[in-house]
């Protein structure tokens, strides 16, 4: 429960009565929820002033207790959209009442921890790559922060959609992880130059697409690595809210810069995206990578791990 937003925020674990299900909703016994950058931005006041007290958490997984749509005992992933864990109490609790259309039956291929990390990161990746960037089979896709939750989802999803994914990471350990996660090539910025390595991998042409969940100075570097008429999609700002862009390069290359914000998207678009994710996961093409799990009472450890930027994959809260 967040009692005050700011730096530092004031949060605590407390006992609450079990919520009551309404028509059109499902009562879910939560088993896991992600500690993600969106929740951290909310609690530190970087996304305005959410109503407090507020239970955070906008993606997770659990078991259906009562529902008109699903049989009791069904394993489900939960997507919070722009309200659950933002305007109304979220998923960092044992029991949650969720609108039926925000649920995805969890494929048997995934654990609860993996299922909890399926919706926000992979939904962002899927819609950004398909509807916003128009990815096509055989294209090259450059992904920054590829060892993180969104970055890893972009690599996996791009590969599942037939793209040739090039992962950008910041250390040898993260490079090994990105290679295991299915990247076709990895650029380790601790010992390689981004522009030179992209030129080598693309015969000097540049990549077709770049996806940037990091922001800050990295965005400008990625844009320079995009080929003529190519596209860069901005998806986050953990590395900073401002970026320097070479306008001459942008104009001469007639490059496209766009962005995508999942929580501002329509219910219809996200529902279609969730269905697609379920199919890809069931086929074994998507499996969220879990960096670590922490118990509910130690939730601050999860946020500390997230803020360290050393996490390889998603940090998950056990409920």
Give the pLDDT score at 252.
97
pLDDT tens digits for 186-203? 999 999 999 999 999 999
Report the CATH number at residue 137.
3.40.50.720
pLDDT at 307 over 80: yes
| Prediction pTM value | 0.90
Total tally of structural domains belonging to the chain? 2
pLDDT tens digits for 101-140? 999 999 999 999 999 999 999 999 999 999 999 999 999 9
Report the CATH number at residue 111.
3.90.180.10
281 domain-assigned: no
Could you give phi then psi for residue 304, rounded to 5 degrees? -65, -45
Does 82 share its domain with 113?
yes
pLDDT band at 6 (very low <50, low <70, confident <90, very high): very high
pLDDT tens digits for 149-178? 899 999 999 999 999 999 999 999 999 989
Does 27 share its domain with 67?
yes
Residue range 36-59: mean pLDDT, rounded = 91
Does 37 share its domain with 51?
yes
Does 219 share its domain with 202?
yes
271 domain-assigned: no
Does 95 share its domain with 125?
no
pLDDT at 12 over 90: yes
283 domain-assigned: no
Q: What's the domain range around 63?
A: 2-118+288-318
Does 132 share its domain with 150?
yes
Does 106 share its domain with 143?
no
Does 126 share its domain with 248?
yes
Does 252 share its domain with 217?
yes
DSSP the chain: -EEE-SSS-EE-----PPP---TTEEEEEEEEEEE-HHHHHHHTTTT----SSB---SEEEEEEEE-SSS-TT-EEEEE-TTTBTTTB--SSSSEEEEEGGGEEEPPTTS-HHHHHTTHHHHHHHHHIIIIIS---TT-EEEESSTTSHHHHHHHHHHHHTT-EEEEEESSHHHHHHHHHTT-SEEEETTTS-HHHHHHHHTTTS-EEEEEESS-THHHHHHHHTEEEEEEEEE---TT-S-----HHHHHHTT-EEEE--GGGS-HHHHHHHHHHHHHHHHTTS----EEEEEEGGGHHHHHHHHHTT--SSEEEEE-
């Amino acid at each position: 429960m967040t009692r005050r937003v700011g730096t530092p925020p004031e949060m605590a674990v407390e006992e609450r009565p079990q919520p009551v299900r309404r028509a059109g909703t499902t009562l879910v016994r939560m088993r896991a929820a992600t500690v993600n950058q969106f929740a951290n931005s909310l609690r530190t006041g970087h996304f305005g002033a959410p109503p407090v007290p507020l239970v955070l958490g906008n993606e997770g997984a659990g078991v259906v207790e009562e529902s008109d749509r699903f049989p009791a005992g069904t394993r489900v992933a939960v997507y919070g959209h722009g309200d659950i864990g933002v305007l109304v109490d979220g998923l960092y609790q044992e029991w949650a009442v969720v609108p039926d259309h925000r649920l995805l039956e969890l494929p048997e291929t995934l654990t609860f921890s993996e299922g909890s990390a399926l919706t926000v990161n992979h939904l962002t990746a899927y819609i950004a790559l398909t509807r916003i960037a128009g990815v096509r089979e055989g294209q090259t896709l450059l992904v920054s922060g590829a060892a993180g939750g969104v970055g890893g989802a972009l690599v996996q999803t791009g590969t599942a959609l037939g793209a040739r994914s090039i992962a950008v990471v910041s250390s040898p350990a993260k490079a090994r992880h990105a290679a295991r996660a299915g990247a076709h090539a990895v650029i380790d910025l601790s010992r390689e130059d981004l522009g030179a390595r992209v030129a080598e991998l693309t015969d000097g042409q540049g990549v077709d697409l770049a996806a940037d969940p990091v922001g800050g100075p990295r965005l400008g570097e990625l844009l320079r690595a995009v080929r003529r008429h190519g596209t860069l999609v901005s998806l986050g700002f953990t590395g900073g809210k401002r970026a320097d862009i070479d306008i001459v390069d942008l104009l001469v290359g007639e490059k496209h810069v766009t962005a995508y914000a999942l929580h501002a998207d329509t219910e219809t678009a996200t529902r279609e995206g969730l269905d697609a994710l379920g199919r890809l996961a069931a086929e074994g093409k998507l499996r969220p990578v879990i960096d670590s799990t922490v118990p509910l009472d130690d939730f601050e450890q999860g946020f500390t791990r997230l803020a360290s930027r050393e996490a390889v994959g998603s940090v998950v809260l056990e409920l």
